[in-house]
């Protein structure tokens, strides 16, 4: 039922990111996303580990989380910093579950994506727009030969 409230409580916009141009031709793989690999961010005063759709995802190849995946970040040392370990782009929106446990997710590795709507992580672990350098490194890998950016 619709309602109206005069309170001035404004919430931060929050929801799933759309990062592909079309659903036609998308291909997916399933992975386990490591909760330990995601940096918490503060949303309306609450620290949450959020994995957003469209983030570049890479394999963790060393340490306790080896065998899982996490956000691509050039400054880490667990394998996620290496372009050759990138598996694709996160399709599953994980808004809070990573505060509790690892999560099974879907990753897109083929399709037509909008580069400006895709993300990677900076040195501090904050989400930033996909850089041209990371895009070019992805497209140089044979498994991403049918990935198109617009």
The string of pLDDT tens digits covering residues 118-143 is: 999 999 999 999 999 999 999 999 99
- Residue among 37, 109, 32 nearest 71 (CA): 37
Q: Tell me, what's the pLDDT at 135?
A: 96
As a whole number, the mean pLDDT across the chain is 92
Tally the C-alpha atoms within 13 A of residue 74's C-alpha that lie toward its C-beta.
Answer: 11
Say whether pLDDT at 9 is over 80. Answer: no
- Rounding to the nearest 10 degrees, give the CA dihedral for residues 41, 47, 52, 55: 40
Band (pLDDT 50/70/90 cuts) for residue 111 is very high
Mean pLDDT over residues 90-115, rounded? 96
- Residue 83 CA to residue 134 CA, distance in Å, equals 7
Whether residue 4 is predicted with pLDDT greater than 70 in this model: the reply is: no
Task: Answer for the pair 87, 107: CB distance below 8 angstroms, yes or no.
Answer: yes
- Whole-angstrom Cα distance, residue 139 to residue 12? 34
H or E segment at 134? helix 132-139
Query: What residue ranges define each of the domains in the chain, with the CATH number in brackets?
Result: 27-149 (2.40.300.10)
In the predicted structure, residue 94 carries a pLDDT above the cut 70: yes
Q: What is the pLDDT of residue 86?
A: 97
Residue 78 DSSP code = S
DSSP state of 138: H
- Per-residue pLDDT band for 6 (boundaries 50, 70, 90) equals low
pLDDT tens for 66-78 read 999 999 999 999 9
Cα distance between residue 108 and residue 48, in whole Å = 24
């Amino acid at each position: 039922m619709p309602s109206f409230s005069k309170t001035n409580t404004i919430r931060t916009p929050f929801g799933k990111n759309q990062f592909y141009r079309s659903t036609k031709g998308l291909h997916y793989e399933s992975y386990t996303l490591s909760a330990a690999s995601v940096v918490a961010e503060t949303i309306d005063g609450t620290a949450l580990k959020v994995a957003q759709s469209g983030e570049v995802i890479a394999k963790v190849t060393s340490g306790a989380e080896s065998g899982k995946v996490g956000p691509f970040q050039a400054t880490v040392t667990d394998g996620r910093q290496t372009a050759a370990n990138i598996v694709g782009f996160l399709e599953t929106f994980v808004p809070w579950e990573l505060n509790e446990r690892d999560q099974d997710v879907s990753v897109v590795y083929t399709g037509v994506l909008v580069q400006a709507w895709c993300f990677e992580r900076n040195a501090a672990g904050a989400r930033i727009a996909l850089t041209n350098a990371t895009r070019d490194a992805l497209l140089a890998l044979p498994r991403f030969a049918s990935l198109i950016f617009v």
